[in-house]
Structure 1
Amino acid sequence: MTEIRTPRLLLRRWTDDDLAPMAEINSDPEVMRWIGDGSVRDLDETAEDIECWEEEWDEEGFGLFAVELLASGELIGSVGLSVAGELPEVLPDVEISWRLGTPFWGQGYASEAAQAVLEFALQDRGLDRVVAVNRLGDEQSENVLRKLDLVLDRETKHPEHGHALNIYSIDLTEYEA
């Protein structure tokens, strides 16, 4: 089982016990406002998401991790890698993303987890490049991207929803510099 430990977090594969707390995170309009069309997701949709994330682990050797606090074992969200299928223009690149519950914002958890996943992607999984897709106006995620040293690659629009997106990237040579 693939796990990553950081000073405060455990990044691990998904279990049945994660469904309810992740569904609660996905049902929060504040969490979801920058994701897709901004719609919240219910328990069934969250179960489908987790199933897809686990399938990607099996097929690609990477995916979205469940993120829990080491101190309490509480699930605080997800962070990880996925094939950037929602935005065909960045294929075949792999995207890094995160989604944490609002009580866990502003404490450096997203940056801590994302930094560990970036190292996992470029050093452990041998990826040459990682991208991040960020909706224009999502300043909190832009702050995380800056901490990860990802650079603005280009601007585009979401093909289905039409909102402005920024594509950030980092390659292995930039990461090792």
Structure 2
Amino acid sequence: MPQTDRLRLRRWQDSDREPFAALNADLEVMRFFPSTRTPAESDAMIDRLDAGIAERGYGLWAVERRDTGAFIGFVGLSQPTFDPALADQVEIGWRLARGAWGQGFATEAAREVVRFAFDPDGADLDALISFTAAVNLPSRRVMERLGMTYDIADDFDHPALPEGHELRPHVLYRLRR
């Protein structure tokens, strides 16, 4: 599993369920998502994410601090399913607990995921995408720190959100090996 000097990316554990539910219930963490998630929804998400890792050998990994062992969120790779135009792409994404913000953890873990994604002994991918609500400046900054490029022609409206919803306009960034 990928790791950095400060972080370990790993399979999901039952001990992640409570802190993950708290992360997904935090209004500030979820401000760029249409809604928070219930504990049952968070548990189901863990089950789906871990099954994906078992199937492909990669996915959205749980992230823990190596110094404390504390769970702080997830970072990894996934395949978007909400839009057929993106279905053959691999996305790099992240979501961290508020207490982990401002310490460079998202960028650090994402850089290691990029390395893994393009490594012939890792996922051996040729390209990655990342997308978010256009107003999500913190995630956009992480994308830019990763060297991802933005083209306004790739902007799209998220099909699961209604017309006029502030999070409907989305931006897409790309990174090639």
Using the size of structure 2 for normalisation, the TM-score is 0.91
Q: Secondary structure at the match of 1:97?
A: strand
Match of 2:140 in 1: 142
Distance in 2 of aligned mates of 1:106 and 1:88: 34
Counterpart among 30, 33, 48 of residue 31 in structure 2: 33
Q: Does 1:159 align with 2:159?
A: yes
Please, which runs of 5 or more residues in structure 2 have no aligned partner? 163-167
Match of 1:175 in 2: none
What are the Cα deviations for residues 71-129 of structure 1, in whole angstroms up to 9, with x where unaligned? 10000000111111123222200111100011111110000001111111111111111
What are the Cα deviations for residues 122-154 of structure 1, in whole angstroms up to 9, with x where unaligned? 111111111001111111111100110011141
Displacement after TM superposition at 1:160 (Å): 1.4
Match of 1:52 in 2: 48
Displacement after TM superposition at 1:34 (Å): 1.2
Distance in 1 of aligned mates of 2:176 and 2:52: 22
Distance in 2 of aligned mates of 1:78 and 1:13: 10
Structure 1 residue runs of 4+, over 3 Å off? none
Match of 1:132 in 2: 130
State the aligned residue count.
Answer: 168
Match of 2:3 in 1: 5
Match of 1:22 in 2: 20
Distance in 1 of aligned mates of 2:142 and 2:24: 20
Q: Secondary structure at the match of 2:131?
A: strand
Counterpart among 74, 78, 81 of residue 78 in structure 1: 74
Counterpart among 64, 71, 87 of residue 60 in structure 2: 64
Distance in 2 of aligned mates of 1:87 and 1:126: 23
Query: Percentage identity across aligned positions?
Result: 37
CA RMSD of aligned residues (A): 1.1
Distance in 2 of aligned mates of 1:26 and 1:75: 13
